[in-house]
Copies of this chain bind each other. A is one copy, B any other.
């Protein structure tokens, strides 16, 4: 307990400080989240508090608080008196997840057709065009990023805060399932065409068509992920 020199490293994130009123446990939670999502911490593996404390250079208090947050998000499991483990990706649960997500997307579609402003539709169209550019240039990471951003924007513009929260939360698990299925993004072309359909319906403000398009898109994504999970 004495070989590491500086226990407190206050110069850790010095330099630019736009707004860093972040509690320590929030920083740790975000790091952990990423590690779990990207598979750096493998599903099913036990989490040693000591190891993580050392790697993050924080005490156990904020780490344990962060673990509680992650547990509520369903990324880790807290076993009584025996620490935490990363939750397994259960295909059954993933199926349930998509079954719900599909309906949330449909609701989103109905709301969007009613509530989206002209400016917002234009913004989405612009994002869509950008994404297509990346598609043509085969720039996967950028494509993926824009894809995510469009979906988030759609949820935001539907104007229902609860819906946005739920979609965000479920999307966490979906992202994880994707990684687990070794398909950070599958179905480039198909997916792009489905997005086209979504944008079209939105511009026509055809709620029913939009709901169907979004529902379909999510359903197909789900099928692909589940297939990927099955063939491991």
B residues near A69, Cβ cutoff 8 Å = 68, 72
**Bound state CA distance, A103 and B163, in angstroms?**
11
Docked-complex contact A100 and B96, CB < 8 angstroms? no
A34 within 8 A of B: no
Count how many chain A residues have C-beta atoms less than 8 Å from C-beta atoms of the other chain.
29
**Bound state CA distance, A160 and B104, in angstroms?**
15
Say whether, besides A65-B65, A68-B69, A160 and B21 are in contact (CB < 8 Å): no
For the complex formed by this chain, how many copies does it contain in all?
A: 2
Say whether, besides A21-B80, A68-B68, A99 and B107 are in contact (CB < 8 Å): yes
Docked-complex contact A162 and B107, CB < 8 angstroms? no
Docked-complex contact A100 and B162, CB < 8 angstroms? yes
A64 within 8 A of B: yes
Docked-complex contact A161 and B93, CB < 8 angstroms? yes
Docked-complex contact A166 and B166, CB < 8 angstroms? yes
B residues near A104, Cβ cutoff 8 Å = 100, 103
For A168-196 the 0/1 string (1 means CB < 8 A from B) is 00100000000000000000000000000
* Majority-rule SS of A interface residues: helix
**Bound state CA distance, A111 and B163, in angstroms?**
21
**Bound state CA distance, A133 and B96, in angstroms?**
35
A23 within 8 A of B: yes
Say whether, besides A72-B72, A103-B106, A104-B100, A162 and B65 are in contact (CB < 8 Å): no
B residues near A93, Cβ cutoff 8 Å = 161-162
Closest 8 A/B residue pairs (Cβ):
A72-B72, A96-B162, A96-B160, A103-B107, A21-B80, A100-B162, A97-B162, A68-B68
25 contacts between A and B (CB under 8 A): A21-B80, A21-B81, A25-B68, A61-B61, A65-B65, A65-B68, A68-B69, A69-B72, A72-B72, A92-B161, A93-B162, A96-B160, A96-B162, A99-B162, A99-B163, A100-B104, A100-B160, A100-B162, A100-B163, A100-B166, A103-B103, A103-B106, A103-B107, A162-B170, A166-B166
Known: A92-B161, A93-B161, A103-B104. 10 other contacts (CB 8 A): A21-B80, A64-B65, A69-B72, A72-B72, A93-B162, A99-B111, A99-B160, A100-B162, A103-B106, A103-B107
